[in-house]
């Protein structure tokens, strides 16, 4: 794995400082705004139907996160997403809780049908559900999937034309052909609320600045994981850990990816 | 007071790791999600009418918090609450701001009429308002109640069939018959936003894992209070205090309740 | 500049402990609640049409922040604002993102037409947009304005009857006649989400406790800037900085404004 390319993805992000339009949940939205700023991009949250098409047109990426979905919000996701598709602005879908309720599963499927989604980022239960292999989700937490995660991710990528990013102890990034695995991260990241949503914001910020979505997504997850690893050296208390992890995200340089990224092929 | 039972309530929570479904306000929701994780349970926030009945059916408790209520949200509270009642899943109502506006007072009363609420958790002004003895609330802050808090709490408990949890310098927990008082806590907890909401999340997490609602609620408040006391030893700055208090919540063990709980009968 | 008056504004706030009613965005709302408490006032967030007129009637100031506006929310802003006007309760409008989308620009203009707004608090792009001189906004970030900021701020103040507060490296406060400039602050404040919204909450808390809106707004920005300067001495990591800045807000005394305020006439 050529880490120079990962490093270049972060350098490109910091140079372009892309706007990342979020339509997201109200639980972790503040964390998403801050991490987007800390990595070097600019967040905007907007979901009124009157403005989403106009707002997304100035963005470098669009995050659709269904963590606290409502019908009106999903309608706005489609409006924003259609405009993003017209303008070739990458869409990142985080299907939070797909598999837990029928409404979440069906909404994620509808978004995938109505829009061209560039990147699907979920946990094993969510990806397993959307891949149709059987995923188990309780609330918004994964209880895993049936079968092999890499096979399921590739299958979902081929079926949708999206890059699939499956978070876990080892993250999987695949477009159905090329696959990268990311070993960075720390178990403390799973003990706080918002890690998954923040990862999606980072994946979007990186996608806004690079053409290669497999590479840029792997770079985003490696960057986040390195920040978590560094914060975990300083504390094992989860709330302090969150603050320190965000500080580490803000201090990441392209060089840190060369030194710290643990990205490999399967 | 046998502290072994308090300790057992926390042990049971950590063993069962219950899902706690919240329909709550957008001000303190992130704090509620994190504290639910830190104590050892799993949070989910969902309020779409299409999914709340399904979501609550996998939960161990349901929190209804009217801190930023809207009509659609209250409708979803009723949908979720009815299903919770059918499945005997405990409902915790936090009537934030009841007494401040007629809409909040009436909504809390309607929820108590339409649903069997297992636990009502409020401040003196809110409990006084719902008990009909006259409570004073400015915004979401208590200005106290008319008359004796224990008598009012017992009266509300008898009238509703709910356990009443009244927060204050000394917390009151009563089912109308049995009453426990909790002396844990620190005044810094009143200087930050979200303490009341976080307390409700903890009360719900404990209720999901124990049958005895008076005991489990007292254990929840004692645990929270111990965490506050410990954080207050380290700092008097309120924002740092909040981080440290959440860290202390995450480090609590059942034994800490035996050592630190100050729970007594009136 | 007589700093005794600035100091008196903070003393008055701490004595009166006013309630500040917010109708605001869901991204930074928790920060707004906490900073309102930390400076010595009391926050309440409420936006249901059934209650906003009643809630605002017990408040000392009303914040209207369009950061994540929706039609229903804007309708509630008008309901609350009309009642605030009747009761001479000051309204602070934060036109977040005006200039970025037509909907935000038009909504800000409609609020200024339908209500008497006492204070407009925005960045250069937003103020330039509303002043009609041409402001540039990307998402919620200012890309500056065409022409002279003081001239534009005065012009908007004269046209609307509002005090205009324009944030920037040097903040401008003007009622069209009297103008004050505030040099306090630190560039780290621009690296975190929510600084602008928190500033509006402080401006509102100060406005609730003083008659002189130019002076009280300058005092609010000076206080916030001093807190930022002090936190920046301790850390350069943005997430830790935010915690420490909020701690510094909580520790501010009236005397600190005499020592630290850098407020001057143009």
Q: Do residues A191 and A223 lie in contact, with contact meaning Cβ atoms separated by under 8 Å?
A: no
Task: Give the residue from A250, A251, A252 with the most C CB atoms within 10 Å of its CB, the best one to mutate.
Answer: A250
Instruction: Residue B188: name the closest of B143, B247, B144, B245 by CA.
Output: B245
Q: Do residues B219 and B9 lie in contact, with contact meaning Cβ atoms separated by under 8 Å?
A: yes
CA-based nearest residue in chain A for residue B39: A191
User: What average pLDDT is seen over chain C?
Assistant: 97
The single-letter DSSP state of residue A17 is -
Question: Could you report the per-residue pLDDT of B185-216, keeping only the tens digit for each?
Answer: 999 999 999 999 999 999 999 999 999 999 99
Inter-chain touch C33–B27, beta carbons under 8 Å: yes
Cα–Cα distance, A168 to A40 (Å, whole number): 25
Helices and strands (H and E) in chain A: how many: 11, 11
pLDDT of C1 above 80: no
Chain A 236-265, CB below 8 Å of chain B: which residues? 237-240, 243
Q: Do residues C166 and C153 lie in contact, with contact meaning Cβ atoms separated by under 8 Å?
A: yes
**Nearest by CB: A44 against C70, C139, C191:** C139
Query: What value of ipTM does the predicted structure carry?
Result: 0.97
CB atoms within 10 A of CB A10: 28
Cα–Cα distance, C58 to C54 (Å, whole number): 7
Res A144: pLDDT: 86
Residues B198-224: b if buried by 16+ CB within 10 A, e if exposed = bbbbbbbbbbbbbebbbbbbbbbbbbb
Six-digit token pair at A47? 């979901």
Res B164: pLDDT: 98
Query: Is the model more confident about B252 or about C1?
Result: B252
Question: Could you report the per-residue pLDDT of C136-146, keeping only the tens digit for each?
Answer: 889 888 888 88
β A179-182/C42-45 pair status: unpaired
**CA distances for B60 relative to B165, B205, C56, angstroms:** 19, 8, 37
Q: What is the CATH number of domain B15-180+189-211?
A: 3.40.1190.20
Whether B54 contacts chain A with CB within 8 A: yes
> How confident is the model over B65-71, as a mean pLDDT?
98
Query: Is the model more confident about C201 or about A1?
Result: C201
Inter-chain touch B139–C58, beta carbons under 8 Å: yes
User: What average pLDDT is seen over chain B?
Assistant: 97
Which of B16-20, B145-149, C115-119, C154-158 is the least confident region? B145-149
Question: Could you report the per-residue pLDDT of B98-149, keeping only the tens digit for each?
Answer: 999 999 999 999 999 999 999 999 999 999 999 999 888 898 888 888 889 9
**Nearest by CB: B30 against A27, A100, A103:** A27
CB atoms within 10 A of CB B229: 18
Whether A113 contacts chain B with CB within 8 A: no
**Nearest by CB: C240 against A29, A42, A243:** A243
Closest CA–CA distance from residue C71 to any residue of chain A (Å): 8
**One CATH from 3.30.200.20, 3.30.43.10, 3.40.1190.20, 3.90.180.10 for C3-264:** 3.40.1190.20
Whether C8 contacts chain A with CB within 8 A: no
Domain boundaries, chain A: 3-264
Res C137: pLDDT: 87
Q: What is the pLDDT along chain A (266 residues), one digit of tens a residue?
A: 789 999 999 999 999 999 999 999 999 999 999 999 999 999 999 999 999 999 999 999 999 999 999 999 999 999 999 999 999 999 999 999 999 999 999 999 999 999 999 999 999 999 999 999 988 889 888 888 888 999 999 999 999 999 999 999 999 999 999 999 999 999 999 999 999 999 999 999 999 999 999 999 999 999 999 999 999 999 999 999 999 999 999 999 999 999 999 999 99
Cα–Cα distance, B160 to B149 (Å, whole number): 16
Burial (CB < 10 A; 0-12, 13-18, 19+), residue C249, is buried
Cα–Cα distance, B36 to B20 (Å, whole number): 8
The single-letter DSSP state of residue B191 is G
Task: Give the residue from C35, C97, C101 with the most A CB atoms within 10 Å of its CB, the best one to mutate.
Answer: C101
Chain C 166-185, CB below 8 Å of chain B: which residues? none
Six-digit token pair at A220? 């985003």
Instruction: Residue A19: name the closest of A47, A40, A46, A42 by CA.
Output: A42
Split at pLDDT 50, 70, 90, the class of B1 is confident
Inter-chain touch A46–C193, beta carbons under 8 Å: no
Instruction: Residue B24: name the closest of B59, B83, B70 by CA.
Output: B70
Please spell the DSSP secondary structure of B23-36, one letter per residue: E--SSSHHHHHHHH
Half-sphere exposure of C19 (CA within 13 A, CB side): 19
Cα–Cα distance, C215 to C11 (Å, whole number): 13
């Amino acid at each position: 794995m050529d880490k120079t390319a990962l490093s270049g993805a972060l350098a490109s992000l910091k140079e372009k400082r892309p706007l990342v339009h979020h339509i997201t949940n109200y639980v972790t939205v503040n964390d998403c705004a801050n991490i987007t700023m800390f990595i070097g991009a600019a967040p905007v949250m907007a979901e009124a139907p009157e403005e989403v098409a106009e707002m997304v047109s100035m963005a470098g990426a669009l995050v659709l996160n269904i963590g606290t979905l409502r019908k009106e919000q999903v309608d706005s996701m489609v409006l924003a997403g259609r405009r993003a598709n017209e303008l070739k602005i990458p869409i990142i879908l985080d299907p939070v809780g797909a598999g837990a309720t029928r409404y979440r599963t069906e909404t994620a499927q509808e978004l995938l049908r109505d829009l061209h989604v560039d990147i699907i980022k979920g946990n094993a239960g969510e990806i397993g559900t959307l891949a149709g292999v059987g995923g188990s989700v309780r609330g918004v937490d994964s209880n895993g999937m049936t079968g092999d995660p890499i096979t399921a991710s590739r299958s979902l990528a081929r079926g949708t034309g999206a890059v699939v990013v499956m978070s876990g102890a080892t993250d999987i990034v695949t477009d159905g052909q090329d696959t990268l695995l990311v070993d960075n991260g720390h178990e403390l990241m799973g003990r706080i609320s918002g890690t998954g949503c923040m990862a999606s914001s980072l994946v979007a910020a990186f996608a806004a600045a690079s053409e290669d979505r497999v590479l840029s997504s792997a770079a985003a997850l490696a960057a986040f994981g390195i920040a978590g690893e560094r914060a975990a050296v300083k504390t094992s208390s989860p709330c302090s850990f969150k603050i320190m992890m965000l500080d580490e995200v803000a201090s990441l340089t392209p060089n840190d990816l060369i030194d710290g990224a643990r990205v490999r092929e399967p």
